[in-house]
């Protein structure tokens, strides 16, 4: 019997050096929840819901995937039904409710974008439609909206185009999309001009010349000269800091130039002095993270070894690794002695270095190759049952030019058979957490929350770490979906009369347009922190947690009125705007004292505390029904 081999082609995770090229990555996302049998924990199940039938296919994103049929691109939903007609010669995955598409015209490829309803908006700049030459535009090029802008060609350079399709008249040529309200760029006229522009296109940080230092010296040709420094490269901001390259020309060494990487703050001052030769980032020409979920940057020293520093420049993990990647789901891949393993949050080896190749964790698993076969492992290093049934090319591929790519599949993956493309689906529930991963008091309720499907897989780690504002939004969205049995997009439309992507398209915050944040914002659960910011990476306080839970209870239809003031000894320290929420949380047994009858309103709030309290809220809701 001949076995038909189907190749998995989708690339779902990207990790890159700042000096190297980066491919865009979009997480797969489904539409309305499907009625399926829950897989056994620790075991992977694989199905093929959409058989190979298309000429080409790209990743699912926001519940839609671009596919080509009859020479034209359109979009299908996860059930295989056509969502947007096949009318385009070029198509990208969705992001922020929009997907870049193109139509061939006599003078080039006209670019625009479509929304989820298929409405088309052309890109225009300086009174002209955006046209690119097809031969210069790679067929596998993907462009994404990020924080309201997409970076596209403009004449001999690049420009940012907004959600209305209009080019921004920026004072610098953009090198990236907008992150945290700023985008790095270079001057089209000044050779050394580097800096950052804001959402209005104005240069708010700019360096255009050398900074001379040291005593003048006599060069080999008898001239008096002085050494100088200059900004040679600028990269996007992440968590308030941006990696910046500084070049130093040494007059005493015949103008030998060395380049070092440091980090600046939003005022343009060095927060971490230039001392490094590279760093790892996760992301692409859209999302960009250098500090990751633990607030650590993985940087390379002059000896070529990687270590980790915090946002003050303090060394947290020693410079001893051949490679060290950002933490994902509580584990950081490293290479030592030519083999890959994983570090835990304390920097101890969680999974020994024994693999020839490896990826970061996503969805509770990572792909590894031991020299003979490729398979998936869970966060404890155990092989995921059933993961070896897919071809090795599922996880690791080598291009015609010898380029090697590590692939970590998402829920939906592109499959190929006989030149036709379709989609497979991977389902995996990670094992339940172990007692040692969190404080003893929280373990039972955290496990109950996980078993009740209240905790997203990507948050089932780092239990003692403070939860951020964006992560709490992801948690709340999961609770609402679990309670209502509906996708969050349906809930937002029913509650507000607008689609989730209409809310995203308002772009109320300069530092995030994440769907979970925007869903919580649309439902009135969270708000910004002023000056158009949300502050997604900031940890939440206990009184903020009470407010978020209180407003979530309202969305879920719980009775919140008529609750007496709390009797905590530090009641007067609770902010006026938070007192009703604290009283409700205490009355329903959702939140309690931190000791000595104190609420500690300004104390931090950990992931384990968050999971315990959403489980208690869920139980209180069930008690009312």
Neighbours of 143 (CB within 10 A): 24
Evaluate the CA torsion angle 589, 456, 490, 580 in order and state its sign.
Answer: positive
Evaluate the CA torsion angle 45, 50, 54, 59 in order and state its sign.
Answer: negative
The domain segmentation of the chain, as residue ranges, is 435-624
pTM over cut 0.75: yes
Per-residue pLDDT tens digits for 257-287: 999 999 999 999 999 999 999 999 886 555 7
Residue 238, pLDDT > 80, answer: yes
Evaluate the CA torsion angle 493, 497, 499, 502 in order and state its sign.
Answer: negative
Q: Which string of DSSP letters, residue by residue, matches 373-392?
A: -EEEEETTSPBPBTGGGS-G
pLDDT of residue 223: 82
Residue 450, pLDDT > 90, answer: yes
Residue 57, pLDDT > 50, answer: yes
| Whole-number Cα distances in Å, 538 to 295, 303, 541, 549, 605 | 11, 34, 10, 18, 11
pLDDT of residue 438: 97
pLDDT band with cut points at 50, 70 and 90 for residue 323: very high
The pLDDT > 70 percentage for the chain reads: 89
Dihedral, CA of residue 136, residue 140, residue 141 and residue 143, to nearest 10: 150
Dihedral, CA of residue 376, residue 379, residue 381 and residue 383, to nearest 10: -30
Per-residue pLDDT tens digits for 559-606: 998 888 899 999 999 999 999 999 999 999 999 999 999 999 999 999
pLDDT band with cut points at 50, 70 and 90 for residue 298: very high
- The two tokens of residue 486 are 């509906």
Per-residue pLDDT tens digits for 16-27: 555 432 222 223
Per-residue pLDDT tens digits for 390-442: 667 767 767 666 666 666 667 888 888 899 999 989 888 899 999 999 999 99
Per-residue pLDDT tens digits for 352-361: 999 999 988 9
Task: Report the distance separating Cα 43 and Cα 575, nearest Å.
Answer: 47
Closest-CA residue to 481 (of 443, 446, 523, 447): 523
Those residues whose C-beta lies under 8 Å from the C-beta of residue 444, and which sit 6 or more positions away, are none
Q: What is the mean pLDDT of the chain?
A: 89
pLDDT of residue 26: 27
Per-residue pLDDT tens digits for 381-403: 999 887 876 667 767 767 666 66
pLDDT of residue 410: 75
pLDDT of residue 292: 86
| Whole-number Cα distances in Å, 276 to 295, 300, 314, 551, 558 | 17, 6, 13, 45, 53
50-64, 119-133, 157-171, 207-221: lowest mean pLDDT where?
A: 207-221
Across 92-171, the runs of DSSP E, i.e. the strands, are: 98-105, 108-115, 120-122, 124-125, 128-129, 131-132, 149-154, 157-162
Per-residue pLDDT tens digits for 326-342: 999 999 999 999 999 99
Residue 213, pLDDT > 70, answer: yes
- Judging by DSSP bridges, how do beta strands 157-162 and 149-154 pair with one another? antiparallel
**C-beta separation of 534 from 469 below 8 A:** yes
Residue 31, pLDDT > 60, answer: no
Neighbours of 433 (CB within 10 A): 20
Tell me which residue has tokens 């590894």.
Answer: 368
Residue 34, pLDDT > 60, answer: no
């Amino acid at each position: 019997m001949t076995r038909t081999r189907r190749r998995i082609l989708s690339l779902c995770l990207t990790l890159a050096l700042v000096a190297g090229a980066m491919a865009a990555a979009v997480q797969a996302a489904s539409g309305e929840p499907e009625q399926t049998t829950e897989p056994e924990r620790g075991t992977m199940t694989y199905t093929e819901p959409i058989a190979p039938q298309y000429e080409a296919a790209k990743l699912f994103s926001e519940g839609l995937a671009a596919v080509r049929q009859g020479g034209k691109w359109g979009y299908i939903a996860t059930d295989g039904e056509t969502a947007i007609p096949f009318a385009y010669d070029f198509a990208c995955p969705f992001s922020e409710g929009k997907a870049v598409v193109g139509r061939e015209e006599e003078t080039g490829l006209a670019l625009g974008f479509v929304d989820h309803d298929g409405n088309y908006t052309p890109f225009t700049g300086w009174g002209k439609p955006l046209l690119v030459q097809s031969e210069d535009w790679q067929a596998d090029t993907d462009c994404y909206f990020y924080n309201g802008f997409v970076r596209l060609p403009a004449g001999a350079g690049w420009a940012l185009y907004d959600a209305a399709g209009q080019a921004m008249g920026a004072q610098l040529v953009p090198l990236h999309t907008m992150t945290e309200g700023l985008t790095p760029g270079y001057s089209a006229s000044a050779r050394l001009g580097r800096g950052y522009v804001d959402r209005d296109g104005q240069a708010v940080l700019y360096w255009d010349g050398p900074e001379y230092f040291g005593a003048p010296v006599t060069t080999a040709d008898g001239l008096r000269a002085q050494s100088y420094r200059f900004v040679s490269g600028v990269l996007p901001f992440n968590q308030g800091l941006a990696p910046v390259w500084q070049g130093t020309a040494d007059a005493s060494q015949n103008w030998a130039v060395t380049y070092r990487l440091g980090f600046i703050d939003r005022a343009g001052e060095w927060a971490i002095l230039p001392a490094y030769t590279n760093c790892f980032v996760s992301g692409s020409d859209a999302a960009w993270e250098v500090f990751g979920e633990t607030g650590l940057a993985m940087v390379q020293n002059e000896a070529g070894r990687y270590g980790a520093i915090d946002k003050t420049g303090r060394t947290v993990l020693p410079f001893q690794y051949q490679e060290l990647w950002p933490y994902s789901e509580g584990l950081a891949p490293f290479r030592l002695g030519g083999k890959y393993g994983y570090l835990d949050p304390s920097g101890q080896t969680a999974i020994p270095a024994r693999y020839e190749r490896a990826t970061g964790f996503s969805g509770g698993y990572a792909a590894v190759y031991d020299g003979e076969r490729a398979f998936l492992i869970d966060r404890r290093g155990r092989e995921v049952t059933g993961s070896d049934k897919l071809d090795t090319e599922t996880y690791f591929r080598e291009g015609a030019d010898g380029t090697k790519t590590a692939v970590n599949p998402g829920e939906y993956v592109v499959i190929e058979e006989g030149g036709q493309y379709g989609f497979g689906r991977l389902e995996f529930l990670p094992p339940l957490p172990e007692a040692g991963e969190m404080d003893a008091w929280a373990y039972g309720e955290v496990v109950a929350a996980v078993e009740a499907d209240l905790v997203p897989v990507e948050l089932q780690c780092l239990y003692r770490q403070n939860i951020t504002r964006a992560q709490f939004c992801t948690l709340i969205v999961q609770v609402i979906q679990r309670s209502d049995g509906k996708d969050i997009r349906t809930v937002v439309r029913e509650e507000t009369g607008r689609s989730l992507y209409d809310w995203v398209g308002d772009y109320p915050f300069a530092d995030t347009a994440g769907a979970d944040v925007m869903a919580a914002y649309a439902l009135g659960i969270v708000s910004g922190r002023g000056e158009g910011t949300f502050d997604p990476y900031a940890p939440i306080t206990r009184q903020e947690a009470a407010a978020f839970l209180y407003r979530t209870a309202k969305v879920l239809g719980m009775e919140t009125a008529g609750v007496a003031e709390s009797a905590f000894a530090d009641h007067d320290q609770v902010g006026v705007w938070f007192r009703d929420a604290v009283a409700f949380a205490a009355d329903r047994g959702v939140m309690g004292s931190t000791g000595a009858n104190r609420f500690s309103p300004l104390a931090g709030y950990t992931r384990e505390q968050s999971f315990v309290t959403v489980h208690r809220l869920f139980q209180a809701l069930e008690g009312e029904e």
